[in-house]
Structure 1
Amino acid sequence: MYGPGRLLVYGTQHILTMYGGVIAPPIIIGGAAHLKASDVALLVTAGLFISGLATLLQTLGVGPVGSRLPIVQGVSFASVSTMVSIASKDGVRPVLGAIIVAGIIGVIASTYFAKVVRFFPAVVTGSIITVIGASLLPTAFTWCMGGNSGAKDFGDPGNIGLAGITLLIIVLISRLFQGAISRLSILIGMAIGTLLAIVTGRADFSGVKHADIVALPQILHFGSPTFQIGAIISMTIVIFVIMTETTADILAIGEIVGTEVDDKRVAAGLRADMAATTVAPFFGSFPASAFAQNVGLVALTGIKSRFAVATGGGVLVLLGLMPVVGAVIAGIPFPVLGGAGIILFGSVTASGIRALARVDYGNGLNLVIVSVAFGFGLIPVGMPTFWDKFPDWFQVIMNSGISSAAISAVVLNIFFNEWKWGNKPGASVFAERENRVEQFGDRLEDDIPTASRSRDRRD
């Protein structure tokens, strides 16, 4: 526990590191749902508010909920592709309904997820994360062109030039500076890009003067959630991917802090994740997950206090109570967002590729899994009308790259690497099953010791 001043400084540093990642998903979903600027501003402030509450719950804990580790929670990028697919067709309400149901399923599954997560090794999660990034990049390109395909200046060289300048600034800051400035490269690049847009008359912040400085979050501002079976199935798949990522982050932060993480602690962390996800739609926000960049910040700075991160969560809550902040963010020009989006979404793809680099491709079976998952996951990107003749519920599932990639990768992984019926010793599938590289280490049971084994070691 540090003094109040240091807690505030260290906590704010965490928020600055993850701020760009929190505000991007609401902006993307708002654009896909064709919401007006004031509604997008509400999505942003709701995302900040829920991220703050989720961070407080994760770090401080309430009973069996919360890992009590220095983990920052925020709106998950993993869910964006699926939510865009739903929102672009039916608006925000079915997205919110699907999140509620999927979140409840996640809360129930949290206790048992340490046993289920073996079905999500690196070959599965790496494929899914790579597809997520690749499927989001077209959104960044649309932003670079102006955001509105019906506008007269869509694709105007001025828009693309502004996006290019923003991207160039981010790249130069990342290369020429180190430490805090480098980690804030995206925010700095967006700020400079926005200033250039104001000077050239390509920015409109007229909505800021009508926004309240302080206001309580609005409950069900977008109306009652609606529940569509296809959307719920897709979102449930996303939730399991998010839980896999959060489990990895909990294990990583436990190792950095020097605290043993057993299955009970993993379950407690996932309950906080899923509880925040379930509540988020009532405030107009989206699924929450642990932010990996903040795990890296803990390792880099050596500031391992969960109370410092909790202070950062308090800062997020305060920002979420200030609609004027959301209005400012909603006014950022699309080309500026596009320049930053290329980096943000590209980094998601890079994270997936990094996970796939740990996979053993020795007998070619994992190569088949990756190939098929990529193929199915990129159908909505390369041929958006591919599933148009199928039933609506089927379209909702398969038109999301993450859902189609996840289904194909999980099923093929079970078929190739888990299902041993009919295999002979020495056969390729059998060998692959025994030598499979897990998401979190050589063997999952070594990474997540049970609570009983933890007590034995302490004794």
Structure 2
Amino acid sequence: MSIKNTDEAAPPVTWPDGSEVEKSLGWKLNSMFGIQHILIMYVGCVAVPLAFGAAMQLDDHTVAMLINADLFVAGIITFLQSIGFGKISGARLPIIGGATFVQVATMISIGQQYGLPAVYGSMLAGGAIGMLLAWPFSRILKFFPPMVTGSVLLVLGVSLVSVATELVAGKKTGADGSANPDFGEPRNIAVAGVVVILAIVISALGKGLLSKAALFISMILGVLLCIPLGMVDFSGVGDEKIFGMITPFHFGAPEFPPMGVISMAIIMAVIFAETIASLSALSEITGKQLSKGDVARGLSVDGFSGVLGGVMNGFMDTVFNQNVGAVKTTRVYSRYATGTAGIFLIVLGLMPVTGAVIAALPDPVVGGVGMVLFGSIAVVGVGTLKKVSTGDTINSSIMALAIGLGLMNKFAPGMWDAFPEWTHSVLSDGVVLTAASALILNLVFNHTSIADRARANRREDKPVQYSAFL
């Protein structure tokens, strides 16, 4: 009896070389995968204007306008990042841009102190500063090695799992602080479980287009499953207008308080750090090598999102990380698919009724897809960290501390509440804290004389003779 050598039968492993980024899939596939990207990013994108509107006690009509503006700006930024504009802007990668939560606390602080015109004036100025600093900032790309980007991606993926979990299980308490009776509802968890299983099975066993559309198909099947269970409610769709135009400077002429401008400029720098990590991840996933010019053009679009957001009552955008996970999971690397998504987002920004339909997707379905996506981001982070020599105690210590700092707030929410409010946007964001700590520690211990001295000391150390203690 002979045993077949399975190693010889295994197909060769091929890695993307970046060429698929430049291939258009045709308008039908570009549209399908573009819609899939929108379904993935939509909830996270509109959550920013919802949170800001609630904190500023804005009425429902104004919040709806903020959502429209948010989607409109995200569409323009997504198109520019994916397709580009000459040699001026665009990283030209499969990027979905969207509003980041990093800015919310600072915007609320400015709004409560100076008013809404100051919020959007400060955003506009912060975006303009970002556009000016995009090219100089890109020159520090060498200070974002795999040790830094891998730590950020790992923490990001793990942190985002909590977002998916909340969509599946719900919140423990309601808005009034009372216990939520629907928390951990078995029906919701079961629906999310079915969606996850469908996504994995279709992705693993499907071929070609079927495999790549696994997330989209599992989401549609999940919604169909929810209909007979009474979990889909489209009643609010009829209350929305079909078309809704966005009025520039809706809150009045912009104002520019110095502290507000400085705060939003700092937020833009934090967004830059997030974007560099995301661009590095996309480079790893797609195989396309990034130049300093690519990074600079990508950062300049981030800055432009602040200018555009300040004018159109929107928000600063960054590269949406959940969609980075979608690129990894689906293996669809074409930037024309995300560029098409940008066009759809612009249309959505002008059609509130369409946005209301997407917003009606059951949370457990979105959360189930999120579980797959966010786990994929963490896997990319682990793969990136494999490139780092863990035998070097300096690098190991940097990664351990950066990851630990980034995850602290997830295990002890509110631990930074006693610190000055202006620090919350950095300290309470695990991704930002990981990026900042890994970057600073890498600079100190790998790019200064301290690193040379430490490594020289270790080379001079003699092996410990343990037998002496016996």
The residue number in structure 1 matching 2:279 is: 246
In the alignment, the residues of structure 2 paired with residue 336 and residue 252 of structure 1 have an alpha-carbon distance, to the nearest angstrom, of 26
- Report the more deviating stretch, 133-142 or 55-64: 55-64
Q: From the superposition, tell whether residues 162 and 220 of structure 1 become closer, same or farther in structure 2 (CA, over 3 Å).
A: farther
How far is the alpha carbon of 1:414 from its aligned partner?
0.9
How far is the alpha carbon of 1:314 from its aligned partner?
3.2
The residue number in structure 1 matching 2:241 is: 212
In the alignment, the residues of structure 1 paired with residue 91 and residue 399 of structure 2 have an alpha-carbon distance, to the nearest angstrom, of 36
Residue 114 in 1 paired to residue 147 in 2? no
How far is the alpha carbon of 1:242 from its aligned partner?
0.5
- SS of the aligned residue for 1:144 comes to helix
**Pairing partner for 1:157 from 186, 189, 196:** 186
Q: Which of these two proteins has the greater Rg computed from alpha carbons?
A: 2
Residue 171 in 1 paired to residue 204 in 2? no
**Pairing partner for 1:272 from 285, 289, 301:** 301
- SS of the aligned residue for 1:216 comes to coil
How far is the alpha carbon of 1:208 from its aligned partner?
0.7
- SS of the aligned residue for 1:199 comes to coil
Deviations 1:71-106 (A, max 9, x none): 3442358x44x3577799999979978865653343
Preserved CA contact (<8 Å) 1:37 1:327: no
In the alignment, the residues of structure 2 paired with residue 363 and residue 331 of structure 1 have an alpha-carbon distance, to the nearest angstrom, of 50
Paired AA for residue 202 in structure 2: I
Question: After superposition, where does 1:334-353 map in structure 2 within 5 Å?
Answer: 334-353=363-382
Paired AA for residue 314 in structure 2: G
How far is the alpha carbon of 1:331 from its aligned partner?
1.2
How far is the alpha carbon of 1:372 from its aligned partner?
0.6
How far is the alpha carbon of 1:287 from its aligned partner?
0.9
5+ residue gaps, structure 2: 1-23, 175-179, 460-470
How far is the alpha carbon of 1:115 from its aligned partner?
1.7
Residue 52 in 1 paired to residue 63 in 2? no
Q: From the superposition, tell whether residues 203 and 83 of structure 1 become closer, same or farther in structure 2 (CA, over 3 Å).
A: farther
How far is the alpha carbon of 1:196 from its aligned partner?
2.4
- Report the more deviating stretch, 361-370 or 110-119: 110-119
Q: From the superposition, tell whether residues 396 and 160 of structure 1 become closer, same or farther in structure 2 (CA, over 3 Å).
A: same
In the alignment, the residues of structure 1 paired with residue 389 and residue 291 of structure 2 have an alpha-carbon distance, to the nearest angstrom, of 27
The residue number in structure 2 matching 1:368 is: 397
In the alignment, the residues of structure 1 paired with residue 210 and residue 444 of structure 2 have an alpha-carbon distance, to the nearest angstrom, of 47
The residue number in structure 1 matching 2:88 is: 65
In the alignment, the residues of structure 1 paired with residue 38 and residue 76 of structure 2 have an alpha-carbon distance, to the nearest angstrom, of 15
Preserved CA contact (<8 Å) 2:444 2:451: no
Q: From the superposition, tell whether residues 149 and 221 of structure 1 become closer, same or farther in structure 2 (CA, over 3 Å).
A: farther
In the alignment, the residues of structure 1 paired with residue 264 and residue 85 of structure 2 have an alpha-carbon distance, to the nearest angstrom, of 31
Residue 289 in 1 paired to residue 289 in 2? no
Preserved CA contact (<8 Å) 1:117 1:244: no
Deviations 1:296-327 (A, max 9, x none): 799868x78x6x87555434433432222210
How far is the alpha carbon of 1:200 from its aligned partner?
1.2
- Report the more deviating stretch, 215-224 or 45-54: 215-224
In the alignment, the residues of structure 1 paired with residue 240 and residue 339 of structure 2 have an alpha-carbon distance, to the nearest angstrom, of 28
Question: After superposition, where does 1:62-141 map in structure 2 within 5 Å?
Answer: 62=85, 64-67=87-90, 69=92, 71-76=93-98, 79-80=100-101, 82=102, 100=124, 103-141=127-165
Paired AA for residue 238 in structure 1: I
TM-score normalised over the length of structure 2: 0.73
Q: From the superposition, tell whether residues 23 and 91 of structure 1 become closer, same or farther in structure 2 (CA, over 3 Å).
A: farther
- SS of the aligned residue for 2:452 comes to coil
Question: After superposition, where does 1:249-264 map in structure 2 within 5 Å?
Answer: 249=282, 263-264=292-293
How far is the alpha carbon of 1:213 from its aligned partner?
2.1
How far is the alpha carbon of 1:382 from its aligned partner?
0.5
Residue 180 in 1 paired to residue 200 in 2? no
In the alignment, the residues of structure 1 paired with residue 331 and residue 227 of structure 2 have an alpha-carbon distance, to the nearest angstrom, of 38
5+ residue gaps, structure 1: 431-459
Paired AA for residue 394 in structure 2: L
Preserved CA contact (<8 Å) 1:148 1:154: yes
Deviations 1:233-254 (A, max 9, x none): 455323222034336757987x
Q: From the superposition, tell whether residues 215 and 347 of structure 1 become closer, same or farther in structure 2 (CA, over 3 Å).
A: same
Question: After superposition, where does 1:11-26 map in structure 2 within 5 Å?
Answer: 11-26=30-45
Q: From the superposition, tell whether residues 264 and 383 of structure 1 become closer, same or farther in structure 2 (CA, over 3 Å).
A: closer
Q: From the superposition, tell whether residues 278 and 148 of structure 1 become closer, same or farther in structure 2 (CA, over 3 Å).
A: farther
In the alignment, the residues of structure 2 paired with residue 39 and residue 147 of structure 1 have an alpha-carbon distance, to the nearest angstrom, of 26
**Pairing partner for 2:408 from 368, 375, 379:** 379
**Pairing partner for 2:167 from 143, 151, 158:** 143
**Superposed CA RMSD:** 4.2
How far is the alpha carbon of 1:168 from its aligned partner?
2.2
Q: From the superposition, tell whether residues 200 and 264 of structure 1 become closer, same or farther in structure 2 (CA, over 3 Å).
A: closer
How far is the alpha carbon of 1:419 from its aligned partner?
1.0
In the alignment, the residues of structure 2 paired with residue 202 and residue 294 of structure 1 have an alpha-carbon distance, to the nearest angstrom, of 25
- SS of the aligned residue for 1:202 comes to coil
Preserved CA contact (<8 Å) 1:233 1:397: no
How far is the alpha carbon of 1:229 from its aligned partner?
6.8
The residue number in structure 2 matching 1:446 is: none
The residue number in structure 2 matching 1:433 is: none
The residue number in structure 2 matching 1:418 is: 447
Deviations 1:341-362 (A, max 9, x none): 2222222222222221221222
In the alignment, the residues of structure 2 paired with residue 206 and residue 408 of structure 1 have an alpha-carbon distance, to the nearest angstrom, of 47
In the alignment, the residues of structure 2 paired with residue 423 and residue 68 of structure 1 have an alpha-carbon distance, to the nearest angstrom, of 35
The residue number in structure 2 matching 1:407 is: 436
- Report the more deviating stretch, 218-227 or 111-120: 218-227
How far is the alpha carbon of 1:373 from its aligned partner?
0.8
How far is the alpha carbon of 1:417 from its aligned partner?
0.7
**Pairing partner for 1:9 from 28, 39, 47:** 28
The residue number in structure 1 matching 2:16 is: none
Paired AA for residue 139 in structure 1: V
Residue 200 in 1 paired to residue 222 in 2? no
In the alignment, the residues of structure 1 paired with residue 196 and residue 76 of structure 2 have an alpha-carbon distance, to the nearest angstrom, of 32
- Report the more deviating stretch, 117-126 or 280-289: 280-289
How far is the alpha carbon of 1:412 from its aligned partner?
0.8
